[in-house]
C-alpha cells in the first residue's frame, strides 16, 4: 500500500512540476503577445507531437517526453550585417544556418509590423525573457505563503531542548555515560540546563536563535558568558570557552567549516507567518541555491562518484525531477500527520519552482538569463554609440552565441541524465 501511495503521489508531483514548467512558458508567451511578438509554437514536453491545435497564429500542443517545454518567439536571430573583411568561419556559418532556418517562417509582414523579438525595445525584451522565471518565483511564493499561513514554519527558539555533555570528535558524536570520561562540552561545563532560555551572550542581548548562532560561530575559542532565564529569573552561567570544531556551513549545509561551538540544541516551534516572513524565507533559500548553483558541476560529479563507488547520497546534493517526485511520494506515504505531509509536499514543490527560476537566471544561453544578458549588452552598446555620437550598432547577433548554447545545453543534458540515473539507483531518503 505504501509503495502504491508513493508512486501515485510521485506521479502527481511530477505532473505539478510539468504544470509549473507550462506556466513558466506562459510567463514568456503572454508578454511576448502583449508586445506584438509573433509566437508560432507553445508546447509542453519534447520529441514527437502527441497532440496540438492552432489558435490564431500559435500552435499549442503536447510532446511525447514530458521533461520540459518551450515557447517559440519569432525573430530571436536578427539579420546579419556583413562587415568588410569578415571571414565566414564555422561559428558564422552555424549562425547563418540557424538564422536561415528561422527566417523561412518570417514574412515581410512580420518585419514591417515589428512582430519580431529582436525589433523590440530593451525593456520589452527583459520583461519577456524574465517573465518565465518570474512565473516560477510567483508560484514558489504562493506555495510557501500557503504553508506559512495555514501550517507554519519550524523555527528554532531560544529555549534549550538538548545539552551535549561532551565535545564531539571525528570518530564519534556519541558521549559516554560518564561525562568525566571525555572532554566536557562548553555547554555542560557552563551549567546550562534543558528548559533554560538563553537571553544574552557575552553581555549582548539576543532575540533569536539565528542571532545567537552567529555570535557563537564568530566567537571561535573565545570566552563565552551566557545569561539564561530559569524559572522566571535571569541567571549568569559559569564562564567557559567555546570550542572550534567542524559545523555545518550556513549557506551550504552539505559542507562543514571551522567555527565556534557551544553544545546545545534549541526547541523547535511551528510559527505561522505572512508575506514578509515568506519573502525572508525565500531570500535565504535563494542565497543557498545560488551557492549550490556555483558548485553545481562539482556536486553533480560527486553524485556520480558516490553512485559508482557505492557511497550514500548527500541529502543536500542536487536531484532530478524524478528524484524530487520520488521524495514527494515518500513524504505522503510516511507516518507523518496530514498537516506535515501537505506542508512538506507544498514546500518541496515551492523549492523546485524557486530553483528552476534561479537556474534560468544564469546568464548563459540557451537559458533565459543568457538572453537577458544579451539584451542588456545590446542596450549598453547602443547607449555607448549614442553617447559618443557613433552609428547605431544595431541589434546584437545572438545567433553567434549558438556554440555556447550547444555546450551549455549539452552540459545540462548530461547532468540531467546523471542525476536521473542516480535517483533511480541510489535515491535520497529524507524520512
Boundary (domain end) residue, out of 238, 271, 304 = 271
- pTM of structure: 0.89
The CATH number assigned to the domain holding 259 equals 2.30.42.10
* CB-based burial, 391-417: b 16+ in 10 Å, e otherwise: eeeebbbbbbbbeebeebeeeeeebbe
User: Which of these, 323, 209, 314, 331, lies nearest to 252 by C-alpha position?
Assistant: 314
Q: Which residue has the higher pLDDT, 12 or 312?
A: 12
Q: How many domains does the chain have?
A: 2
Q: Specify whether 280 is located in the same domain as 367.
A: yes
* Residues forming a β-bridge with 51: 62
* Residues forming a β-bridge with 94: none
Q: Specify whether 171 is located in the same domain as 197.
A: yes
Contact indicator for 421, 429 with CB cutoff of 8 Å: no
* 425 found inside a domain: yes
Q: What is the pLDDT of residues 358-376, one digit of tens each?
A: 999 999 999 999 999 999 9
pLDDT at 180: 56
Q: Specify whether 285 is located in the same domain as 303.
A: yes
Q: Specify whether 389 is located in the same domain as 277.
A: yes
pLDDT at 171: 43
Q: What is the mean pLDDT of the chain?
A: 89
pLDDT bin (cut points 50, 70, 90) of residue 168 is: low
* 260 found inside a domain: yes
Pairing of strands 243-248, 240-241: unpaired
* 2 found inside a domain: yes
User: Which of these, 258, 300, 278, 293, lies nearest to 415 by C-alpha position?
Assistant: 300
* 89 found inside a domain: no
Tally of CA atoms within 13 A in the half-sphere of 211 that contains its CB: 12
User: Does the structure show a pLDDT above 80 at 407?
Assistant: yes
Q: Specify whether 252 is located in the same domain as 277.
A: no
Gap between the Cα atoms of 2 and 123, Å rounded: 51
Angle among Cα 307, 344, 151 to the nearest 5 degrees reads 160
Q: Specify whether 5 is located in the same domain as 114.
A: yes
* 98 found inside a domain: no
Q: Specify whether 328 is located in the same domain as 423.
A: yes
Q: Specify whether 131 is located in the same domain as 159.
A: no
Q: What is the pLDDT of residues 180-194, one digit of tens each?
A: 556 789 999 999 999
Boundary (domain end) residue, out of 245, 271, 297 = 271
pLDDT at 282: 96
Q: Specify whether 423 is located in the same domain as 342.
A: yes
User: Does the structure show a pLDDT above 60 at 228?
Assistant: yes
User: Does the structure show a pLDDT above 50 at 172?
Assistant: no
* 284 found inside a domain: yes
Q: Catalytic residue positions?
A: 25
Q: Specify whether 18 is located in the same domain as 165.
A: no
* 108 found inside a domain: yes
Contact indicator for 248, 141 with CB cutoff of 8 Å: no
pLDDT bin (cut points 50, 70, 90) of residue 85 is: low
Q: Specify whether 185 is located in the same domain as 257.
A: yes
Gap between the Cα atoms of 221 and 260, Å rounded: 6
Contact indicator for 400, 89 with CB cutoff of 8 Å: no
φ and ψ at 38, to 5 degrees? -80, 130
Q: What is the pLDDT of residues 256-266, one digit of tens each?
A: 888 999 999 99
Q: Specify whether 335 is located in the same domain as 408.
A: yes
Contact indicator for 396, 117 with CB cutoff of 8 Å: no
Q: Which residue has the higher pLDDT, 34 or 2?
A: 34
Give the range of the structural domain holding residue 386, as residue numbers without chain letter: 1-27+103-152+273-431
For residues 345-365, average pLDDT: 94
Boundary (domain end) residue, out of 246, 271, 296 = 271
Contact indicator for 368, 361 with CB cutoff of 8 Å: yes
* 412 found inside a domain: yes
Amino acid at each position: 500500500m505504501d509503495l502504491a501511495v508513493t508512486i501515485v503521489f510521485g506521479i502527481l508531483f511530477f505532473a505539478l512540476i510539468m504544470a509549473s514548467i507550462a506556466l513558466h512558458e506562459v510567463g514568456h508567451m503572454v508578454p511576448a503577445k502583449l508586445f506584438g511578438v509573433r509566437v508560432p509554437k507553445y508546447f509542453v514536453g519534447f520529441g514527437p507531437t502527441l497532440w496540438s491545435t492552432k489558435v490564431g497564429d500559435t500552435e499549442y500542443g503536447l510532446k511525447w517526453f514530458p521533461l520540459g517545454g518551450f515557447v517559440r518567439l519569432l525573430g530571436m536571430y536578427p539579420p546579419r550585417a556583413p562587415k568588410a573583411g569578415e571571414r565566414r568561419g564555422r561559428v558564422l556559418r552555424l549562425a547563418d544556418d540557424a538564422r536561415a532556418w528561422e527566417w523561412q517562417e518570417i514574412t515581410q509582414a512580420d518585419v514591417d509590423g515589428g512582430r519580431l523579438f529582436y525589433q523590440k525595445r530593451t525593456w520589452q525584451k527583459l520583461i519577456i525573457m524574465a517573465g518565465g522565471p518570474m512565473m516560477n518565483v510567483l508560484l514558489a511564493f504562493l506555495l510557501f505563503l500557503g504553508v506559512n499561513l495555514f501550517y507554519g514554519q519550524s523555527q528554532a527558539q531560544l529555549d534549550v531542548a538538548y545539552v551535549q555533555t561532551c565535545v564531539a570528535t571525528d570518530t564519534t558524536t556519541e558521549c559516554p555515560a560518564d561525562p568525566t570520561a571525555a572532554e566536557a562540552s562548553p555547554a555542560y561545563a557552563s551549567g546550562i540546563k534543558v528548559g533554560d532560555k538563553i537571553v544574552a551572550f557575552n553581555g549582548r542581548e539576543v532575540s533569536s536563535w539565528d542571532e545567537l548562532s552567529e555570535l557563537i560561530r564568530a566567537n571561535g575559542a573565545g570566552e563565552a558568558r551566557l545569561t539564561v532565564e530559569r524559572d522566571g529569573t535571569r541567571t549568569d552561567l559559569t564562564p567557559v570557552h567555546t570550542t572550534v570544531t567542524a559545523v555545518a556551513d550556513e549557506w551550504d549545509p552539505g559542507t562543514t567549516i571551522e567555527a565556534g561551538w557551544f553544545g546545545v540544541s534549541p526547541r523547535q516551534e511551528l510559527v505561522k507567518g505572512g508575506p514578509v516572513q515568506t519573502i525572508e524565507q525565500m531570500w535565504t533559500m535563494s542565497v543557498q541555491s545560488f551557492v549550490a548553483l556555483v558548485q553545481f558541476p562539482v556536486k553533480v560529479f560527486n553524485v556520480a562518484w558516490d553512485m559508482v563507488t557505492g557511497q550514500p547520497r548527500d541529502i543536500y546534493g542536487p536531484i532530478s525531477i524524478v528524484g524530487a517526485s520520488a521524495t514527494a511520494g515518500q513524504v505522503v506515504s510516511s507516518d507523518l500527520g496530514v498537516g506535515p505531509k501537505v506542508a512538506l509536499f507544498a514546500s518541496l514543490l515551492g523549492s523546485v519552482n524557486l530553483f528552476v527560476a534561479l537556474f534560468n537566471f544564469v546568464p548563459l544561453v540557451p537559458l533565459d538569463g543568457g538572453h537577458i544578458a544579451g539584451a542588456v549588452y545590446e542596450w549598453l552598446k547602443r547607449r555607448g554609440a549614442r553617447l559618443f555620437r557613433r552609428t547605431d550598432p544595431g541589434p546584437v547577433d545572438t545567433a553567434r552565441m549558438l556554440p555556447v548554447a550547444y555546450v551549455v545545453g549539452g552540459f545540462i543534458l548530461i547532468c540531467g541524465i546523471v542525476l536521473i540515473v542516480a535517483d533511480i539507483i541510489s535515491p535520497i531518503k529524507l524520512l
